[in-house]
Amino acid sequence: MVQFDNQSRQIKLKIVYYGPALGGKTTSLQYIHRAVDPTRRTQLYSLNTSNDRTLFFDLLSLDLGVIRGHKLTLQLYTVPGQVQYDATRRVVLSGVDAVVFVADAQKNQLQANIQSRKNLEENLVANKIDPATIPLVFQLNKQDLSPLTPATELNRMINPQGAPVFLTTATSGRDVMETFAAISKSAVAGAGKRLGIDGDEKALHRLQEQVRKALTPFIDADRQASTEMASEPNEAVEIQTLLPSDQPLEEIELMQEAVHANLAMTDLNSQLDTTRRRLEHTIEALGSISQFGRKLSTLRNPRDILQNLLEAACKHLYAQGGAIMLFSAGSLREFKVKFLIQDPLLSEVSPSGSSLADQMVKEKSPMLITLDPTRLQQTHVEKVIEAADCISAIVIPLVAQDFLLGLLTLYRDHDRLSFDDEDLQLATTMALNTSAAYSNAANWLKLQKTNQNLETQVAERTRDLESSLSEVKVLNTDLSEKHHALKQAFTDLEEMGRLKGELLARVSHELRTPVSSLLTAAVILADDEPPPPEVGARFVKIIRTEAERLSEIIEGVVQAAILAAAAEAPIRSDTDMNELIDSALEPLRPSALKREVDIRLDVQSGLPKIPCDPESLTTAVQAITKNAIDFNETRGSVDIKVSRNPDKNDEIAIKIRDSGTGIPPDDLPLVFDAFWQGGNIMTGKPPGIGLGLTIAKRVAENHGGSLSIFSDAGAGTEVVFSLPG
């Protein structure tokens, strides 16, 4: 009877090797045990007597892969052949899915074969199994010996219904695996019937394919194993010796022992198997989670994080397909699918327009869906999954901080075991971590954007501030320039005030002597008694000299007025230098003549007209030249030279050089000070009030030029008046 164990997802099929004693049943199982892939089989359990006779049965479990999400396990039993162990045979036969009848083909065993074949029939019936429908295959063994009953004859005697027959030699393995393949297929086909899929061609074919695939490596290994058999003893076979002799036990005792042993072993076997599977699964899941976590920690982009979940879940959970759906405008939309054209839950749409995925995500809890082959009624979701050719699905809502992001689905098809609770747990852990990482990454992106905006705003504000600052700087410069100009104006004004005061003192001092001399002379001349003519002439001379001094003082006051005027910007007009200097010299010529000073003028030919204020420039030239005459020696000379400055081509230089006594070096820095005069004031003070050079310097500077003076005591003085032109 096919056994389903939904807990461990196992389908067990029981195949019994039946036949007369010593026919080769145990030898056949031993051969199969050696030939198959060790990872697919359990040990071969044999319960023998001391002389290797099968006492109860042999048992070998084989794993044939996965069918409809369940692990398909074949359990191979042998029965004891001796006639007296009939009760054991009957127990072993209970729930059998297929039988291999191992006949001993030696001539002398014909009767034993016939008797055993008959016994099989009786025991099947006793177990309520229809001998006509139970899958049956014949193995006519010991083909290497003789004399043999001819196969056709033996066949006719024990196989009248014409079941498949194989001529075997169990000791060398000849055709043992072929027999096994044939009975496995029949057993699986029989199981298909009992699974309710015998009408389902597709499912049946898949089942057959599965067995073929699982057995191919066994049959290929057949030849290899047969050579090994010759050299190696049956070391892989577990032999448990229960009894010291062939002494038969009481039948009832045997039966009890057999049943207990059978149950205990099967139970233990399946428990061990389940535990091992669980352990492997857990270790694998732990590895998967750590691998997944490592990858997740390297990702920053929310899309990459979701994609990683689908990739990792499909890989670590051996899913043949899967999808991630995200919410958009209130319903789920596909974000990514793997190995699927479209997610079956998303393409299944209800008349109201919402998909099956939309309905399932509302549950907010992970779901495990497994098709149960024994259940006749299927839910809507199960039907959709079956229609998509799948056997099992995991559906997990993606929730971050109670916010529903979307849905993860994973599918397995018929080639795999169905998902189990541990798979669900693993997928849920991955989904939870992913959802948290996704929402963190999305928040991080938002924060970064806000940050960027803030940075832009700060940069804009900084720019604004900087431009305001530079405006303030300009204003400040402007202000400090104005302040400077104001300060200068103030200084000028102060200077003017000081000059005014000094001028007043000087003028009043200078005026006192001539005015009192004039008054005295006038009083004497106006006396009733006129003075004698020689005295009168002296007084007239005094009056003239003092009048001249008065004129000098008036000239000084005029100069002071000019000095004040020179503080303002000059009113320029293009002026011929030759003409200007010539006319400036005119009023000075009489005093030069008187002192016999020779004035020589040399103006460079081809000089253009110079933009200047002719009035103030004339005063300046006169002031310098007057000094050159006054401080000269009798019969000295004054050379006036006007030319372009050879060093600075855009400058005109007026050089006025005298042959006088020169200025001592200590006095040179003072010559531009107002009211400074060379010579000793008490003794030989020259005429004037000492403003000439101060005025000339101011005029030069007002024109954007300069005034410089070079002198050596005893070697004359040169004054250079430079102005742009």
Non-local CB neighbours of 380 within 8 Å, separated by 6+ positions? 356
Non-local CB neighbours of 580 within 8 Å, separated by 6+ positions? 614, 617, 618, 621
Query: Per CB under 6 A, does 25 bind ligand GDP?
Result: yes
- The minimum distance between CB 246 and Mg ion, in angstroms, equals 13
Residue 637 interface partner, choices ligand GDP, Mg ion, none, CB cut-off 5-8 Å depending on type: none
Which CB atom, from 143 or from 677, has the smaller least distance to ligand GDP? 143
Query: In this chain, which of 159, 169, 711, 717 binds ligand GDP, going by CB under 6 A?
Result: 169
Residue 481 interface partner, choices ligand GDP, Mg ion, none, CB cut-off 5-8 Å depending on type: none
Other C-beta atoms closer than 10 Å to the C-beta of 156 total 11
Residue 668 interface partner, choices ligand GDP, Mg ion, none, CB cut-off 5-8 Å depending on type: none
Which CB atom, from 29 or from 560, has the smaller least distance to Mg ion? 29
Query: Per CB under 6 A, does 24 bind ligand GDP?
Result: yes
Q: Do the Cβ atoms of 440 and 330 come closer than 8 Å?
A: no
- The minimum distance between CB 22 and Mg ion, in angstroms, equals 8
Which CB atom, from 21 or from 62, has the smaller least distance to ligand GDP? 21
Q: Do the Cβ atoms of 172 and 226 come closer than 8 Å?
A: yes
Query: In this chain, which of 12, 13, 26, 722 binds ligand GDP, going by CB under 6 A?
Result: 26
Other C-beta atoms closer than 10 Å to the C-beta of 229 total 18
Question: Which one of 53-61, 123-131, 518-526, 554-562 is the stretch in contact with Mg ion (CB under 5 A)?
Answer: 53-61
Question: Which one of 165-173, 300-308, 362-370, 604-612 is the stretch in contact with ligand GDP (CB under 6 A)?
Answer: 165-173
- The minimum distance between CB 223 and ligand GDP, in angstroms, equals 17
Query: Per CB under 6 A, does 142 bind ligand GDP?
Result: yes
Q: Which helix (H) or strand (E) holds 639?
A: strand 637-644
Question: Which one of 141-149, 239-247, 524-532, 572-580 is the stretch in contact with ligand GDP (CB under 6 A)?
Answer: 141-149
Query: In this chain, which of 21, 165, 255, 430 binds ligand GDP, going by CB under 6 A?
Result: 21
- The minimum distance between CB 26 and ligand GDP, in angstroms, equals 3
Which CB atom, from 127 or from 172, has the smaller least distance to ligand GDP? 172
Q: Do the Cβ atoms of 698 and 625 come closer than 8 Å?
A: no
Residue 145 interface partner, choices ligand GDP, Mg ion, none, CB cut-off 5-8 Å depending on type: ligand GDP
Q: Are strands 637-644 and 651-658 parallel, antiparallel or unpaired?
A: antiparallel
Query: Per CB under 6 A, does 151 bind ligand GDP?
Result: no
Please state whether 65 falls in left (phi above 0), alpha (psi between -120 and 50) or beta.
left
Non-local CB neighbours of 446 within 8 Å, separated by 6+ positions? none
**Which residues on neighbouring strands pair with residue 18, listed in sequence order?**
101
Query: In this chain, which of 136, 170, 325, 612 binds ligand GDP, going by CB under 6 A?
Result: 170
Range list of H helices, 169-323: 176-195, 201-220, 222-231, 251-298, 302-316
In angstroms, rounded to a whole number, what is the distance separating the alpha carbons of residues 219 and 182?
Answer: 11
Please state whether 24 falls in left (phi above 0), alpha (psi between -120 and 50) or beta.
left
Question: Which one of 16-24, 508-516, 533-541, 637-645 is the stretch in contact with ligand GDP (CB under 6 A)?
Answer: 16-24
Query: In this chain, which of 11, 12, 13, 26 binds Mg ion, going by CB under 5 A?
Result: 26
- The minimum distance between CB 43 and ligand GDP, in angstroms, equals 17
CA-based torsion, 190, 193, 199, 201: positive or negative: negative
- The minimum distance between CB 55 and Mg ion, in angstroms, equals 9
Non-local CB neighbours of 280 within 8 Å, separated by 6+ positions? none
Which CB atom, from 142 or from 655, has the smaller least distance to ligand GDP? 142
Query: In this chain, which of 46, 106, 109, 171 binds ligand GDP, going by CB under 6 A?
Result: 171
Report 69-128 residues binding ligand GDP (CB under 6 A).
Answer: 78, 81, 102
Which is nearest to 104 in space by CA: 24, 212, 215, 199? 24
Q: Which helix (H) or strand (E) holds 197?
A: none
Position of minimal CB gap to Mg ion: 54
Which CB atom, from 54 or from 616, has the smaller least distance to Mg ion? 54
In angstroms, rounded to a whole number, what is the distance separating the alpha carbons of residues 131 and 16?
Answer: 14
Query: Per CB under 6 A, does 54 bind ligand GDP?
Result: yes
Which CB atom, from 69 or from 81, has the smaller least distance to ligand GDP? 81
Phi, psi angles (nearest 5°) of residue 60: -135, 125
- The minimum distance between CB 20 and ligand GDP, in angstroms, equals 7
Which CB atom, from 26 or from 625, has the smaller least distance to Mg ion? 26
Query: Per CB under 6 A, does 144 bind ligand GDP?
Result: yes
Query: In this chain, which of 10, 42, 54, 139 binds Mg ion, going by CB under 5 A?
Result: 54
DSSP codes, 487-524: HHHHHHHHHHHHHHHHHHHHHHHHHHHHHHHHHHHHHH
In angstroms, rounded to a whole number, what is the distance separating the alpha carbons of residues 654 and 645?
Answer: 9
Question: Which one of 21-29, 198-206, 450-458, 542-550 is the stretch in contact with Mg ion (CB under 5 A)?
Answer: 21-29
Residue type, 529: E
**Which residues on neighbouring strands pair with residue 101, listed in sequence order?**
18, 138
Query: Per CB under 5 A, does 27 bind Mg ion?
Result: no
Residue 646: DSSP 8-state: S
Number of residues in contact with ligand GDP under rule CB under 6 A: 19
Which CB atom, from 21 or from 345, has the smaller least distance to Mg ion? 21
Residue 113 interface partner, choices Mg ion, ligand GDP, none, CB cut-off 5-8 Å depending on type: none
Whether the upstream peptide bond of residue 147 has omega within 30° of 0, thus cis, is yes
DSSP codes, 522-587: HHHHTSSSPPPHHHHHHHHHHHHHHHHHHHHHHHHHHHHHHHHHHTSPP--EEE-HHHHHHHHHGG
Query: In this chain, which of 2, 13, 15, 22 binds ligand GDP, going by CB under 6 A?
Result: 22
Position of minimal CB gap to ligand GDP: 24
Residue 169 interface partner, choices Mg ion, ligand GDP, none, CB cut-off 5-8 Å depending on type: ligand GDP
- The minimum distance between CB 81 and ligand GDP, in angstroms, equals 5
Which CB atom, from 23 or from 69, has the smaller least distance to ligand GDP? 23
Residue type, 571: I
> What SS3 state is found at 384?
helix
Query: In this chain, which of 2, 10, 15, 23 binds ligand GDP, going by CB under 6 A?
Result: 23
Q: Which residues of this protein are in contact with ligand GDP, per CB under 6 A? A: 19, 21-27, 54, 78, 81, 102, 141-142, 144-145, 169-171
- Give the footprint of Mg ion on this chain (CB under 5 A): 26, 54
